[in-house]
Amino acid sequence: MNAAVERYYDTTLDLYEDLWGQHVHHGFWDAGERPGNDEDRHAATDRLVRELVAFAGLPAGARVLDVGCGIGGPAMYLAGPLGCTVEGVTLSAAQAARANEKAAELGLAERTRFRQCDFMANDYPDASFDVVWAVESLMHIADRAAFFAEVRRVLKPGGIVAIATWSVRDGELTAQESRVVDQILRHQVMPSFSSLEEHERLAAAAGFTDIAIVDWSANVANSWEPGFAQVKELDNGRSMMRDLARDRGVDVLGFFYAGPLMLKGFETGAVTYGAVRATKPAAGD
């Protein structure tokens, strides 16, 4: 799975950057708001980061581990306006290199470092970070119980974990809903989805306290609106996809399949999206 995720993000880096800029995650709008233009795209992805900071109560100046940092979009906000020190890990060497390049361009190289590293096999000492931040990376990690245990290990006592993630409705899905979900998983190189409630249960089982979840499905689903989410070059459609698949391998096509499948998933209510925050108990608690 890790090798496939690495390949997927290596081969789609420029496609995501052309479409979403520095962020590789959903945008956030007020529920019912319609997306506008290209500028709105960037405002909406910036907003998701600010919403998660506010929801998690992320303190300015914190030492942060960004699990699945992409090309560093969220990290630039944490290290810039919030004054955090950010260590970012991604499975993709190409993403890590691009993130370091962007940090240097923005004058943030001293407060950020990005590297290729599997969070589930990281070499950070216990109690290294005030915050573990994971935006849309947890869906790629199969063992979520082990993820929460590892987050707890690397957090300092009193530290916070802040997660934004694709998810599914709690409980059984219908056969038709499961088919859509399975297609999303396959094309986006993800092993499974958990419900937001399942994340809450796993965080509690790992010993976290002050756990909260919020469902942002209605705030982010716009990200896949046709005409907004579609890649402009798709006007010349199939031939471009054929060329990309030939040059980079067929996995790259997952980038194009995400939109219609996610829209369908959100429409049926089978696919959800939300945030999770939790605290590692302070020493003695």
- Give the footprint of ligand SAM on this chain (CB under 6 A): 5, 9, 23-25, 67-70, 73-74, 89-92, 95, 118-120, 135-137, 140-141
Q: How far is the CB of 18 from ligand SAM (least distance, A)?
A: 14
């429409």: which residue's tokens?
A: 267
Q: Which is nearer to ligand SAM, 163 or 244 (CB)?
A: 163
Angle at 158 between CA 153 and CA 163, to 5 degrees: 70
Q: Residue 140 or residue 169: which is nearer to ligand SAM going by CB?
A: 140
Supply the minimum distance, in Å, between the C-beta of residue 124 and ligand SAM.
Answer: 12
Compute the least distance from the CB of residue 25 to ligand SAM, in Å.
4
Nearer to ligand SAM, 54 or 175 (CB): 54
Nearer to ligand SAM, 15 or 281 (CB): 15
Q: Cβ neighbours of residue 13 under 8 Å, at least 6 residues apart?
A: 71, 92, 94, 95, 98
CB of 253 to ligand SAM, least distance (A): 16
Q: What are phi and psi of 75, to 5 degrees?
A: -60, -35
Strands 63-67 and 129-135: parallel
Rounded distance between C-alpha atoms, residue 98 and residue 121, angstroms: 22
Least Å distance, CB 239 to ligand SAM, is 27
Name the residue nearer to ligand SAM (CB basis): 105 or 210: 105
Q: Is 237 helix (H, G, I), strand (E, B) or coil?
A: helix
Interacting residues of 252 by C-beta distance below 8 A, sequence separation 6+: 8, 11, 12, 15, 244, 245
